[in-house]
Amino acid sequence: MLKKKIETKIDWHEIETVMLDMDGTLLDKHFDDYFWEEHVPAVYAQLNGLNFWDAYDKLMGKYRSKEGTLEWTDIDYWSKELGLNIAEMKDKMNHLIQVHPFVIDFLKFCQQNLKKIYLVTNAHSKTLAIKMANTDIEPYFDRIVCSEEIGVAKEDPVFWEKLEKLLNIDCEKSLLADDNEDVLQSAEKYGVKYLIYVAKSSSKKPVVYSRKFPSIIFFKELLPTDYNSDQKI
Tens-digit pLDDT profile for residues 140-187: 999 999 999 999 999 999 999 999 999 999 999 999 999 999 999 999
**pLDDT recorded at residue 220:** 94
R_g of the chain, CA atoms, integer Å: 18
Alpha-carbon torsion (125, 126, 127, 130), positive or negative: positive
Helix ranges (DSSP H) in the chain:
30-34, 40-48, 52-65, 75-82, 86-92, 103-112, 125-133, 147-150, 157-167, 181-190
Cβ pair 161, 189 in contact under 8 A: no
d(CA 4, CA 198): 14
Condensed to tens digits (0 to 9), the pLDDT of residues 106-131 reads 999 999 999 999 999 999 999 999 99
**pLDDT recorded at residue 228:** 66
Mean pLDDT of 129-135: 96
Condensed to tens digits (0 to 9), the pLDDT of residues 59-105 reads 999 999 998 888 999 999 999 999 999 999 999 999 999 999 999 99
Assigned CATH class of 12-28+97-222: alpha beta
Residue 195 has pLDDT above 70, yes or no: yes
Closest CA to 219 of 233, 201, 204, 198: 198
Domain ranges of the chain: 12-28+97-222, 31-95
DSSP characters for 189-208? Answer: HHT--EEEEES---TTS---
Q: What is the pTM of this model?
A: 0.91
Name the β-bridge partners of 144.
119
Contact partners, residue 149, CB within 8 Å, separation at least 6: none
Cα dihedral 107, 167, 151, 111, rounded to 10, equals 10
**pLDDT recorded at residue 4:** 57
Residue 232 has pLDDT above 60, yes or no: no
Helix or strand holding residue 20 (H, E): strand 17-20
d(CA 120, CA 146): 6
What separation, in Å, do the N-terminal and C-terminal C-alpha atoms of the chain show?
A: 35
Residue 48 has pLDDT above 50, yes or no: yes
Name the amino acid, one letter, at 137. Answer: I
d(CA 69, CA 226): 41
Instruction: Give the pLDDT band (50/70/90) at residue 1.
Output: very low
Closest CA to 38 of 83, 77, 96: 96
